Chains A and B, each alone.
Chain A
Amino acid sequence: MLKVQHLSVSFVTRLGANKAVDNVTFSVESGKITAIIGESGSGKSVACCSLLGLIPSPPGLIEGGRALFDGKDLTKLNEAQLRKIRGRDIAMVFQDPMTCLNPYMTIGDQLTESLRYHQKIRRTEARRRAIELLQEVGIREPASTIDSYPHQFSGGMRQRVMIAMALINEPKLLIADEPTTALDVTIQAQILQLLADLQKRRDIGILFISHDLAVIADIADQIVVMQEGKVVETGTRSEIFHNAQHPYTQRLLAAIPTGGKEIASPESESLIQIRDLCTWFQHSNAPVKAVDGVNFDIYRGEVLGLVGESGSGKSTIGRSILRLVNVTSGQIIFDGLDVTALRPHELKKLRRRMQFIFQDPFASLNPRMTVYETLSEPLLLHRIENRSTVAASVLRLMDNVGLARGFARKYPHEFSGGQRQRIAIGRAVATRPEFIVADEPVSALDVTIQAQILELMRELGREYGLTMLFISHDLAVVRQLADRIIVLQAGKVVEQASTRDLFAQPQKAYTRQLLQSIPGRGLLKGDVAGG
């Protein structure tokens, strides 16, 4: 149905042309799902967006190739002709449903506008069809929610709305650009299921763009692997998963988190005891009980995984332990000290021993500080080093986290996401803390980078003898690092067990549901369903 042949796209600037897509060939058949896999910057999104004229031009420019759709070459069409195809024959679903819906318009208006524009139908009729479609994608009570604004929906519901919006004109081809990357694992599983169902029911073709092979392991018919603008391998699902030829594909497969950590540490003394912890936030009249009566211990030298969906209170627990938020009631005992009762100057002493790694390495590093400044600041602040000795420490630290020494004078924006997270980790371990809270440290990263950062954290943990609270929504990631896992739901502990027991014999229904949501879980068991 869509045949892309030898497509090349460049971004032409004064500094020269940058070839983002280089001689790329792939096809999508109707009733089938083709997945394009590659890391950020591999050109997968540019290739698809350029077909619809959705890349900024200039500087974007299609340099060559053809894209046959319905007997027409998309690359030869002008803007007006493309507009007739966009949203009607080929529709798109984007990554982040938080930012891709217009916050100033009701979802009803956003759903019906393209229907009314392309098919010139009446308002009431368009509305009726929109309600039907919302029902089909699993929005409850669509007749009343159709007049809501996007912020009144959760992330998963917004992505359902986006999908409904894409399908409203009954397109023949749906391009889904990382449609589940911004979502929790359980929601991701639901959205993937929904896409697969809709595709079968409507017999449309789907072009699914993702950086994560595991995500598409259950649904893709054809897989195209891209690296640096080029297609390195194309094949059916079973060909790629069982018989990958290209080393890059093999590396991507190896990066899929599988297996668990060898549990080494025997029971040791507990470093942190958390008793009846409640952290509530005042919100208009009723408090939001983010953490509601939580009890657990963290033992010296262990990595404790804290798993739950967004809103389960896992980040709030991490922040509560470091007193980054105020605790409502309960106790947090760190090495005999009650953290909740400390005064500011005592807290500063304690913070040297406890550190935090945040999710977004973009936002958590000061953009106006060089790597050197970022890493030396905690050392000077806590008087671990003085001005004359700090330089050697910083360089040693950079070696430890795998940053070349020459990067010391660079600013955060000059680094990739993975390198930035290395800087953030370096800052966290600079004061040689005993305890680190790592809040989703790899969820903003590509899979291959994820694997590297997890490896680094494992090494540093061993070298520095760290105790770690590892917070994530992704069980597959937690499994690689954690000795024990605590599952949270709505501010309460659902289950806690050693990593091995939790995966082997989950006791609670909610834990089982989380385990079933892990993308590509077939791979974890080692048996991929044949394509």
Chain B
Amino acid sequence: MLRFIGFRLLQALPVLLVVITVTFFLIRVAPGGPFDSEKAVIPEVQAALEAQYRLNLTLFQQYTAYLGDLFHGDFGPSFKYPGRSVNELIAAGFPVTAELAFYALLVALTIGGIAGIVASLKPNSAQDYIPMSVAMIGICMPSLLLGPILILLFGIYLDWLPVSGWGDSPGDKILPAITLGSAYAAYIARLSRAGMLEVMSQDYIRTARAKGLPEWQVVSRHALRGGMIPVVAFLVLAFAGLLSGSFVVETIFQIPGLGRFYVQAAFNRDYTMILGSTIFLATLIVFFNLLSDILAAWMNPRLRDQMRAL
């Protein structure tokens, strides 16, 4: 088991190195730089700035120096926010984004899971078609559209919920969580429907019915575990996806999360911030991939025995 995890982590190192290298050189290819501006800057100031941020070195020297810093866990200083390091900015933004992603997943799992299971119990009937059509709409509707619609409806016309902020007024976390979670709810609905349908056709479900168990016990005791394995594997992956994909929702609802920092950094050519966030998110994605594999195997007793032997 430990060997398996160790091996997978080792495998992740070259992946991360490629991500770092490609990102590092790609952002330099983009025109413009962090200190370009309309106003003329005194050459001495410009030179001093560039020296401070190592921009006077050759590109390759910058690259090796950056790798050296990374090795010590240092993402370097931000180019745009003087006096603040990228580590600090990530530490400030990440908890907000993680909380948002967590609520969004809760929304997605509740709505999607229930819809999928309900649909799977009577396939090809209204009980199936209606939730699955709604799910399809959920997949097709971008959060860019859903967010403003929700704001308009619940924030402005009905005036039930605040329309922006994070932790400033009660209930301001509800709309962002729903907006971010809805697309994932749709995926989960489809996954859990497919998973449940497959399990419900297994021989051991017939065995459970032959025991005389009522249908709700057949579903909850016998079908749910097998049927939900793909959903769990997806959930963990989705969490990583939510962390890196929350920027639209953070922008709509004015949430000070990592996603907004990330996108602003790209506009500002804040080299270290872009790199730092990319590496941080790539590491998380690798980690969650591993976690997803382990969890899915752990839920299956047969694979669990094989895992223990590794």
Interface of B is mostly: helix
CB distance from B169 to the nearest CB of A (A): 44
Size bracket, chain B contacts: 20 to 34
CA distance A103 to B213 in the complex (A): 18
The A-contacting residues of B in range 252-310, CB under 8 angstroms, are 299-302, 305, 309-310
CA distance A52 to B208 in the complex (A): 13
Judging by beta carbons under 8 Å apart, are B213 and A94 in contact?
no
Judging by beta carbons under 8 Å apart, are A84 and B212 in contact?
yes
Chain A residues near B211 (CB-CB < 8 A): 86-87, 91, 113-114, 117, 165
Judging by beta carbons under 8 Å apart, are B207 and A94 in contact?
yes
Judging by beta carbons under 8 Å apart, are A83 and B212 in contact?
yes
Judging by beta carbons under 8 Å apart, are B301 and A151 in contact?
yes
Given contacts A83-B214, A94-B207, contact A99 B302 (CB under 8 A): no
Chain A residues near B225 (CB-CB < 8 A): 104-105
Chain B residues near A92 (CB-CB < 8 A): 207, 210
CA distance A100 to B299 in the complex (A): 19
Chain B residues near A26 (CB-CB < 8 A): none
- A103 interface neighbour in B214, B217, B300, B309, Cβ under 8 Å: B300
The 0/1 profile, CB within 8 Å of B marked 1, for residues 469-498 of chain A is 000000000000000000000000000000
CB distance from B24 to the nearest CB of A (A): 41
Chain B residues near A285 (CB-CB < 8 A): 309
CB distance from B202 to the nearest CB of A (A): 7
The 0/1 profile, CB within 8 Å of B marked 1, for residues 104-146 of chain A is 1100000001100110000000000000000000000000000
CA distance A162 to B221 in the complex (A): 18
Asked if B25 lies at the interface with its beta carbon under 8 angstroms from chain A, I say: no
Instruction: For B210, give the chain A residue with the smallest CB separation.
Output: A92
Chain B residues near A83 (CB-CB < 8 A): 212-214
Given contacts A84-B212, A113-B221, contact A102 B207 (CB under 8 A): yes
Asked if A101 lies at the interface with its beta carbon under 8 angstroms from chain B, I say: yes
Asked if A13 lies at the interface with its beta carbon under 8 angstroms from chain B, I say: no
Instruction: For B209, give the chain A residue with the smallest CB separation.
Output: A54
Judging by beta carbons under 8 Å apart, are A103 and B226 in contact?
yes
Given contacts A96-B203, A99-B204, A117-B217, contact A87 B210 (CB under 8 A): yes
CB distance from B97 to the nearest CB of A (A): 34
Asked if B222 lies at the interface with its beta carbon under 8 angstroms from chain A, I say: yes
Asked if A314 lies at the interface with its beta carbon under 8 angstroms from chain B, I say: no
The 0/1 profile, CB within 8 Å of A marked 1, for residues 184-218 of chain B is 00000000000000000011101111111110010
Q: Which residues of A are in contact with B by a Cβ distance under 8 Å? A: 52, 54, 83-88, 91-92, 94, 96, 99-105, 113-114, 117-118, 149, 151-152, 162, 165, 284-285
Q: List 16 A-B contacts (CB under 8 A).
A: A54-B209, A83-B212, A86-B210, A87-B212, A92-B210, A94-B207, A99-B203, A100-B206, A101-B207, A102-B222, A102-B226, A103-B204, A117-B217, A118-B212, A151-B301, A162-B207
- A-B pairs, top 5 by smallest CB distance, nearest first, are A87-B212, A86-B212, A114-B211, A87-B211, A149-B301
